[in-house]
Amino acid sequence: MTYTQLAVASVLVVVIADLWLLRTRMVTRKVFWTSYAILAFFQLVTNGMFTGFGVVKYDGAAIIGETSPDVGPPPFLGEGRIAFAPVEDLLFGFALILLTIALWVLWGRRGVQRTPMSGPPIWRRGA
């Protein structure tokens, strides 16, 4: 599978999990999209730095656009890129953020660690 196919598949799997498996329905909430917009901005900044400075390079055959790493730095915008990074990175970032928030909401509903724990580690309490 190409990077593009994996990115699209990850978004589809996570949206299905959010809506029908976990039933948190985060993608239907305005607060999620507001939070995502803030996170996406910082994702573009960090991805842009890594890709623009050449720390991370992508094979043009595996992503949208045909930019070769041998030609020089990738374009800031265009050829399937936003802030030097491939648009697929935004898809992976979306899937990661949505899954993280959906699981957080799910576990919060189930009461996972509602009472904060402090003090020494569990294995030292009886000593």
Each residue of 18-33: pLDDT tens digit?
A: 999 999 999 999 999 9
Answer yes or no: is 120 within a domain.
no
Per the structure, how many domains does the chain have? 1
Answer yes or no: is 122 within a domain.
no
**Higher model confidence: residue 126 or residue 37?**
37
Answer yes or no: is 55 within a domain.
yes
Assessment of whether the complete model's pTM goes beyond 0.85: no
Segment holding 88, helix H or strand E: helix 87-109
Report the side by side order of strands in the sheet with 81-82: 77-78, 81-82, 85-86
Model confidence at 100, pLDDT cuts 50, 70, 90, reads very high
Answer yes or no: is 124 within a domain.
no
Answer yes or no: is 119 within a domain.
no
pLDDT digits (tens, 9 = 90+) for 39-89: 999 999 998 899 888 888 887 777 887 666 566 677 778 878 888 888 899
Answer yes or no: is 16 within a domain.
yes
Task: Note down the domain range covering 89.
Answer: 3-107
Answer yes or no: is 30 within a domain.
yes
Answer yes or no: is 85 within a domain.
yes
Look-up of token digits 């569990």: 122
